[in-house]
């Protein structure tokens, strides 16, 4: 079996576009509560490692099966918030369900059959951090019967799914109550809309893969299809050793794949793997040719794939074979030239007796000049 | 031959504005009066220069072929002694940079590989400088000349692909001859203001021939640039 080893390109963070139409509802409350005016809503995707994709005011949220995994979290940020004892809650309903109605906002455990017309996503009660963090699958699977079960995200497999999120301002004194708290008097719940577009087809593969080789590094670059430029994609290079008679293997060898390089910017479509790891202090996480066991003379096949925002990979591009070769640089040329070799030692002093005498004379003259100047001043 | 042609071109270019100015209509009479000699301290000179430079050795030519480098440099001179009717004797320190690159050759085939081989040099110099400005000060001819002698300390490093292949320091003799055209005559009032406000006595453009006799990295070359005395 041929082994395709993802090696060195983590070309680009998949951009997630999100669409949350900012709510223009300027809500008014009465009594002890203050005004709540969510002039803007921000959505971030938050991953388990703490990284986020800022998708503020974008048009779409790309959702796939992978987006429904538990490690993908969406974050709603309310730009303006009110102090206690008020709360802002997030509810989402399926279809035309009106989540502004308190009767549709019963909490799951308070409903006998476990199904609610609207799903409770979370409550914000901390003004310092007015943020909802919701699992992607909870947002997409409104029907609680799917919660924790499978298949997840069925609803988004076929066509774009539009969800309307409701943010009512409540005045509950018992946040754990199963009864939906009343919406603050005079308050118009804020709304945000997100459309989840499934990406289930493969993107086009990169073309015109080019390699450059040498003794200390092998580089790969390629062209991307124009359509990919509309959507931020990432790319990855694969090296095929063909150790077990693979279809595109070019030779023998053995190496292991490693982490993607996190420092390659999205527009870039090339990368280089060096013979040895970069110097101390470099953030590079790439393995080196030496670590991967690619010796001088070894031949490997290089191919690249496009990865769309939904993490769908394209087919492999046409592979290109490349051999690590021995090269001759300036130092090699210098070593072969006795005059140059003698000159490029770590420290080379080429003052001959005449030069030394000349320099000594000049130095003496300058010292004399300084002395003369001081004497004149005195 | 090319260097000589370039030298002549530069000199012609430098002289052209002066000639043109001399033939210009005499709308500002004071521009043509003899410069007034004003006491103003002048102890230093700063120069910025550029010019092609290729170390003179076979390995370099074989590897980098047509890469002429373009050596950038700067030099600061401090006057040690003023010599009446002659000029100044100064000590100077210079710093330069030049980098060369080419595709490394495949050992087996001799063809260009995908790797780049590089050589970077940082010439630093300690110099004694004799600057003769007799023509400019005594005869109002805006030309000055300088002779420089000292030591060159050339820090170098080379790499091929991702591998550093060495670095070091080469020391050798350095000398230079400079011809400079003072630009004061273009606008003496501006020159006066420069002196009053910034202490800059003269601004000049120059051509300099020099030789560095450091092993493997030395060569004869010329540079041109802009300098100021203050």
Tell me the three state secondary structure of residue A115: coil
B158 and chain A in contact, CB less than 8 A = yes
Nearest to A366 among B91, B100, B159 (CB): B91
Compute the distance between CA of residue B158 and CA of residue B212 in angstroms, rounded to an integer. Answer: 19
Overall average pLDDT of the A234-243 stretch: 66
Q: Within a 13 Å sphere around the CA of A254, how many CA atoms are in the beta-carbon half?
A: 1
Is the model's pLDDT at A54 over the cut of 60? Answer: no
- All residues of chain B having their beta carbon less than 8 Å from the beta carbon of residue A327 are 104-107, 113, 115, 117, 160-161
Q: Select the more confidently predicted residue: A69 or B87.
A: B87
Question: Angle CA(A333)–CA(A298)–CA(A270) in degrees, nearest 5?
Answer: 80
Q: How far is A323 from chain B (nearest CA, A)?
A: 11
Q: How far is CA A218 from the centre of its chain?
A: 25
- All residues of chain B having their beta carbon less than 8 Å from the beta carbon of residue A213 are 113-115
Q: Which residue has the tokens 């005559």?
A: B185
Say what the pLDDT of residue A186 is: 54
End-to-end CA distance of chain B: 36
Nearest to B89 among A328, A351, A369 (CB): A369
| Three-class DSSP labels, A124-144 | ECCCCCCEEEEEHHHHHCCCH
Q: Note the helical H segments in chain B.
A: 2-23, 58-64, 134-138, 188-198
Contact A351 B166 (CB under 8 A): no
Compute the distance between CA of residue A75 and CA of residue A46 in angstroms, rounded to an integer. Answer: 7
Q: How far is B216 from chain A (nearest CA, A)?
A: 5
Question: Angle CA(A307)–CA(A308)–CA(A311) in degrees, nearest 5?
Answer: 70
Q: Going residue by residue through chain B (230 aa), what tens digit of pLDDT does each one get?
A: 455 555 555 554 544 444 433 333 334 444 555 666 667 788 899 999 999 999 988 888 888 888 888 899 999 999 988 888 899 999 999 999 999 999 998 888 888 888 889 999 999 999 999 999 999 888 888 999 999 999 999 999 998 887 788 888 888 899 999 999 999 888 888 888 888 888 888 999 999 999 998 888 888 999 999 999 98
- What is the DSSP code string of A287-354? PPTTTTT--TT-EEEEEEEEE-TT-PBPPPPPPEEEE---EE-HHHHHHTSHHHHHHTSSEEE---HH
Nearest to A274 among B150, B162, B168 (CB): B162
Say what the pLDDT of residue B191 is: 82
Tell me the three state secondary structure of residue A74: strand
Compute the distance between CA of residue B131 and CA of residue B129 in angstroms, rounded to an integer. Answer: 6
- All residues of chain B having their beta carbon less than 8 Å from the beta carbon of residue A215 are 104, 113, 115, 160-161, 163
What tokens appear for A55 in the block? 């998708």
pTM of this structure: 0.60
Contact B151 A359 (CB under 8 A): yes
B160 and chain A in contact, CB less than 8 A = yes
Closest by Cα among A90, A179, A204 to A142: A90
Closest alpha carbon within chain A to B108? A326
Q: Looking at residue A373, what DSSP letter applies?
A: H
Q: Which residues on adjacent β-strands are paired with residue A235?
A: A11, A306
Compute the distance between CA of residue B55 and CA of residue A330 in angstroms, rounded to an integer. Answer: 12
Percent of chain A with pLDDT over 90: 0
Closest alpha carbon within chain A to B120? A330
Closest by Cα among B71, B83, B93, B76 to B222: B71
Closest by Cα among A367, A286, A24, A41 to B162: A286
- All residues of chain B having their beta carbon less than 8 Å from the beta carbon of residue A351 are 151, 171-173
- All residues of chain A having their beta carbon less than 8 Å from the beta carbon of residue B216 are 334, 339-340, 342-344, 348
Contact A369 B149 (CB under 8 A): no
φ and ψ at residue A77, rounded to 5 degrees:
-115, 125
Give Cβ neighbours of residue A310 (< 8 Å, ≥ 6 apart). Answer: A14, A62, A63, A64, A66, A67, A198, A199, A200
Task: Quote the longest CA-to-CA distance of chain B.
Answer: 74
B104 and chain A in contact, CB less than 8 A = yes
Say what the pLDDT of residue B9 is: 57
- All residues of chain B having their beta carbon less than 8 Å from the beta carbon of residue A362 are 128, 149-150
Q: Select the more confidently predicted residue: B173 or A362.
A: B173
- All residues of chain B having their beta carbon less than 8 Å from the beta carbon of residue A342 are 215-216
φ and ψ at residue B21, rounded to 5 degrees:
-65, -35
Which has the minimum average pLDDT: A46-50, A57-61, A89-93, B165-169? A57-61
Say what the pLDDT of residue B126 is: 92
B101 and chain A in contact, CB less than 8 A = no
- All residues of chain A having their beta carbon less than 8 Å from the beta carbon of residue B160 are 214-216, 327, 329-332
Contact B115 A345 (CB under 8 A): no
Compute the distance between CA of residue B150 and CA of residue B111 in angstroms, rounded to an integer. Answer: 42
- All residues of chain B having their beta carbon less than 8 Å from the beta carbon of residue A346 are 166-169
Q: Is the ipTM of this complex over 0.85?
A: no
Best of B173, B175, B212 to disrupt the A interface (most A CBs within 10 Å) is B173
Overall average pLDDT of the A291-319 stretch: 73
Overall average pLDDT of the A135-147 stretch: 57
- What is the DSSP code string of A178-227? SSPPPBPTT---EEEEEEEEE--SPPPPPEEEEEEE-SSEEEEEEE--GG
Give Cβ neighbours of residue A186 (< 8 Å, ≥ 6 apart). Answer: A27, A28, A29, A30
How many Cβ atoms from other residues are within 10 Å of residue A207's Cβ?
12
Contact A330 B168 (CB under 8 A): no
Contact B57 A275 (CB under 8 A): no
Pair type for strands A4-6 and A131-135: unpaired
Q: How far is A192 from chain B (nearest CA, A)?
A: 51
- All residues of chain A having their beta carbon less than 8 Å from the beta carbon of residue B218 are 350
Q: How far is CA B75 from the centre of its chain?
A: 8
């Amino acid at each position: 079996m041929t082994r395709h080893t993802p090696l060195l390109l983590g070309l680009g963070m998949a951009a997630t576009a999100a669409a949350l139409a900012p709510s223009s509802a300027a809500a008014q409350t009465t009594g002890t509560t203050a005004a709540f005016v969510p002039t803007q809503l921000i959505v971030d995707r938050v991953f388990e490692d703490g990284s986020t994709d800022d998708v503020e005011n974008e048009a779409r949220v790309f959702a796939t099966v992978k987006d429904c995994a538990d490690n993908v979290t969406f974050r709603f940020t309310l730009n303006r918030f009110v102090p206690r004892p008020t709360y802002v809650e997030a509810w989402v309903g399926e279809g035309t369900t009106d989540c502004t109605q308190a009767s549709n906002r019963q909490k799951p455990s308070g409903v006998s059959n476990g199904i609610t017309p609207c799903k409770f996503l979370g409550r914000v009660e901390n003004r310092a951090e007015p943020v909802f963090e919701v699992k992607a699958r909870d947002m997409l699977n409104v029907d609680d019967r799917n919660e924790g079960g499978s298949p997840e995200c069925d609803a988004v497999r076929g066509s774009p799914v539009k969800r309307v999120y409701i943010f009512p301002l409540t005045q509950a004194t018992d946040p754990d109550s199963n009864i939906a708290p009343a919406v603050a008097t005079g308050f118009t719940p804020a709304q945000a809309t997100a459309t989840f577009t499934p990406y289930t087809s493969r993107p086009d593969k990169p073309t015109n893969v080019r390699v450059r080789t040498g003794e200390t590094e092998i580089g790969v670059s390629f062209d991307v299809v124009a359509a990919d430029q509309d959507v931020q994609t990432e790319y990855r290079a694969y090296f095929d050793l063909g150790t077990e008679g693979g279809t595109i293997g070019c030779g023998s060898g053995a190496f292991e794949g490693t982490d993607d390089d996190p420092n390659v910017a999205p527009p870039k479509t090339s990368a280089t793997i060096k013979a040895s790891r970069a110097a101390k202090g470099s953030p590079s996480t790439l393995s080196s040719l030496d670590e991967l066991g690619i010796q001088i003379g070894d031949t490997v096949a290089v191919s690249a794939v496009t990865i769309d925002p939904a993490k769908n990979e394209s087919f492999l591009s046409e592979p290109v074979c490349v051999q690590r070769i021995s090269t001759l640089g300036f130092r090699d040329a210098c070593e072969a030239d006795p005059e140059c070799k003698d000159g490029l030692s770590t420290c080379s002093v080429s003052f001959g007796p005449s030069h030394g005498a000349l320099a000594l004379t000049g130095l003496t003259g300058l010292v004399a000049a300084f002395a003369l100047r001081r004497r004149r001043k005195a | 031959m090319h260097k000589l042609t370039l030298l002549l071109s530069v000199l012609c270019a430098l002289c052209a504005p002066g000639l043109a100015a001399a033939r210009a209509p005499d709308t500002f009479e004071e521009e043509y009066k003899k410069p007034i000699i004003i006491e103003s301290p002048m102890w230093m000179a700063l120069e910025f220069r550029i010019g092609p430079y290729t170390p003179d050795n076979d390995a370099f030519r074989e590897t980098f072929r047509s890469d002429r480098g373009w050596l950038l440099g700067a030099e600061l001179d401090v006057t040690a002694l003023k010599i009446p009717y002659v000029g100044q004797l100064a000590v100077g320190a210079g710093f330069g940079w030049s980098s060369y690159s080419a595709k490394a050759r495949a050992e087996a085939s001799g063809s260009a590989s995908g790797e780049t081989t590089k050589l970077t040099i940082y010439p630093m110099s300690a110099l004694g400088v004799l600057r003769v400005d007799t023509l400019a000060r005594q005869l109002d001819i805006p030309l000055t000349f300088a002779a420089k002698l000292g030591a060159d300390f050339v820090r170098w490093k080379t790499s091929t692909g991702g591998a550093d292949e060495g670095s070091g320091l080469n020391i050798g003799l350095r000398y230079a001859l400079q011809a400079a055209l003072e630009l004061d005559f273009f606008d003496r009032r501006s020159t006066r203001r420069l002196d009053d406000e910034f202490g800059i006595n003269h601004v000049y453009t120059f051509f300099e021939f020099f030789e560095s006799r450091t092993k493997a990295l030395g060569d004869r070359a010329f540079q041109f640039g802009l300098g100021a005395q203050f």
